[in-house]
Amino acid sequence: MKRIVIVGGGAGGIGVATRLGRRLGKKKKAEIILVDMAENHVWKPLLHEVATGTLDTGIDAMSFRGHARANGYRFQQGRLTDIDRAHGRIELAPIMDGDQELLPARTLNYDYLVVAVGSVAKDFGIPGVQQHCHFLDTTEQAMEIKNILRKRFLRYAREERLKEQVKVVIIGAGATGAEMAAEMMHAADQLKGYGFNMDASMLSITLVDSEERILPQVQREAIARSVEQQLQDMGITVRVGQSVIRAEADGIVLASGERLPSDLTLWAAGIQAPEFLGGIGGLETNEDHQLVVKPNAQTTRDERIFAIGDCCACPQPDGSIAPPRGQVARQMGHMVVNNLIDLLKGREPRREYVYRDLGSLVNLSRFHTVGNLFSFLGGGVMVEGRLARFTYHSLYRRHLLEVYGLVRGTLMMGVRSLSHFLRPALKLH
Ligand SMILES: Cc1cc2nc3c(=O)[nH]c(=O)nc-3n(C[C@H](O)[C@H](O)[C@H](O)COP(=O)(O)OP(=O)(O)OC[C@H]3O[C@@H](n4cnc5c(N)ncnc54)[C@H](O)[C@@H]3O)c2cc1C
């Protein structure tokens, strides 16, 4: 029986493991193994809500082990470090708990490999960023941000008479930075209902970007203008056209020489594939460490290895590469499942990935949602308000239906709605 190993159970990889498990694993037509360094799957586009406590990982995180059991694949926790293509195996680092080794270093053989390890923040070599900035790549990092904010809020409550605002600087005014800023304002505004004598006015947020306008990836300027106006109405300071040249323990320095003091500096200015992927197993990678793939997601130097989502550079008909988005990771995952099934049946994996931009939406917490739908149709349609908000959340709803199936997925949506109704809006611990 052939073995297909998927590394990375995020937005793209979990769908691949689920579909292959149901279609092949359960029927013993192939052995499907998912490897992830984390124990639980969390939908990455919700990480900013984890960081502010508006999302409870206890409800939204999904145990890989339980999911594997129900869907016909096996799960192995481990961190990919290398690929030995000559022997068809991957190398996994030991899993540690402090100094204690929980799981030893291992190798795992594959007949086919799907790499879906996502991306990490890109620091552009700017001094101090790695040491002093916080990132939003993993659940652990999101929880760390939440803890720092919680402690600062507690201190503010104790020393309230000092009236010194908590200063947050977010570098990168793309969708992630803008959504994070709005979510923080929303969380701060909720605090007075939890016995803290404070509201959003105790928080000073500055959003910095080197580009001349916010949301540089969004083509339609009207969307950027609308979002910027909303951010300013919330009291968030927007500083565009400002390059950061250094990050320090208590602030950042701009190219103009100006220093912005900060209690918490968040880096959301760009992404790249994890560094260990660069040249891994002799495969072709680009300057952002992404695995270069053919339009059918096969890596250029090894037809047994596929890559999907943020960690790959998938060429598009117009010469660009598919953008790092949740919808791209999901769509590429669906295609790879069909290509792998073709391969197992002795057919050529002919399906090719062409990105169709169904829409880009920016959700400013409870305040405002705006964006473009059907962007592939001559510029698309600009939407705001309830429809935009419903559509924004439908990406996650589709994801739930995919990983849990129709009945369980619908029940999960019900559980989430009930939990919003029954539990406090903020998770403070
Ligand atoms: C705050 C935020 C908001 C976002 N909002 C949106 C949005 O609204 N719409 C949208 O389309 N996109 C959004 N994105 C982008 C989207 O989250 C990513 O494009 C998408 O998650 C990429 O999917 P992926 O499967 O490639 O990687 P991921 O979803 O990042 O999954 C990678 C998986 O690989 C695992 N992994 C990593 N390294 C290793 C290793 N060495 N060994 C084993 N396992 C490993 C990780 O634990 C993880 O489970 C947002 C991102 C962020 C951070």
Q: Which fold has domain 121-271?
A: FAD/NAD(P)-binding domain (3.50.50)
The pLDDT of residue 202 is above 90: no
User: How close is the Cα of 388 to the center of ligand 1, in Å?
Assistant: 22
Q: What is the reported pLDDT for 275? A: 96
Residues 6+ apart with CB under 8 A from 420: none
The pLDDT of residue 134 is above 70: yes
Domain residue limits, the chain: 3-119+273-344, 121-271
Cα 204 to Cα 404: distance, rounded to the nearest angstrom: 40
The pLDDT of residue 427 is above 90: no
Instruction: Using most ligand atoms within 8 A of CB, pick from 5, 37, 44, 267 the residue to mutate for ligand 1.
Output: 44
224 φ, ψ (degrees, to nearest 5): -60, -40
The pLDDT of residue 195 is above 90: no
> For the whole prediction, is pTM greater than 0.85?
yes
154 φ, ψ (degrees, to nearest 5): -60, -45
The pLDDT of residue 192 is above 80: no
Instruction: Using most ligand atoms within 8 A of CB, pick from 91, 117, 184 the residue to mutate for ligand 1.
Output: 117
Can you tell me which residue has the tokens 């190798």?
A: 107
Q: What is the reported pLDDT for 269? A: 93
Assign domain 3-119+273-344 to a CATH class: alpha beta
Neighbours of 327 (CB within 10 A): 20
Q: Are 339 and 297 in contact (CB under 8 A)?
A: yes
170-191 residue pLDDT tens: 999 998 999 999 988 888 877 7
Average pLDDT over residues 231-241: 93
Name the DSSP letter for residue 365. Answer: T
**Site residues for ligand 1, CB cut-off 6 Å:** 7-13, 35-38, 44-45, 47-48, 79-80, 116-118, 136, 176, 274, 309-311, 324-327, 329, 395
Model confidence at 392, pLDDT cuts 50, 70, 90, reads confident
Model confidence at 379, pLDDT cuts 50, 70, 90, reads low
286-331 residue pLDDT tens: 999 999 999 999 999 999 999 999 999 999 999 999 999 998 999 9
Cα 274 to Cα 188: distance, rounded to the nearest angstrom: 33
Average pLDDT over residues 320-349: 95
Q: Which candidate, 284, 280, 318, 321, places its Cα nearest to that of 299?
A: 284
Q: What is the reported pLDDT for 263? A: 92
Can you tell me which residue has the tokens 């250029």?
A: 300
Buried b (16+ CB within 10 A) or exposed e, 350-381: ebebebebbbbbbbbbeebbbbbbebeeeebe
Model confidence at 193, pLDDT cuts 50, 70, 90, reads low
354-373 residue pLDDT tens: 998 777 788 887 777 887 77
Residues 6+ apart with CB under 8 A from 282: 85, 301
User: How close is the Cα of 157 to the center of ligand 1, in Å?
Assistant: 35
What is the enclosing helix (H) or strand (E) of 221?
Answer: helix 221-233
Looking at the CA of residue 362, tell me the nearest atom of ligand 1.
8
Same fold across 3-119+273-344 and 121-271: yes
Alpha-carbon torsion (294, 295, 297, 298), positive or negative: negative
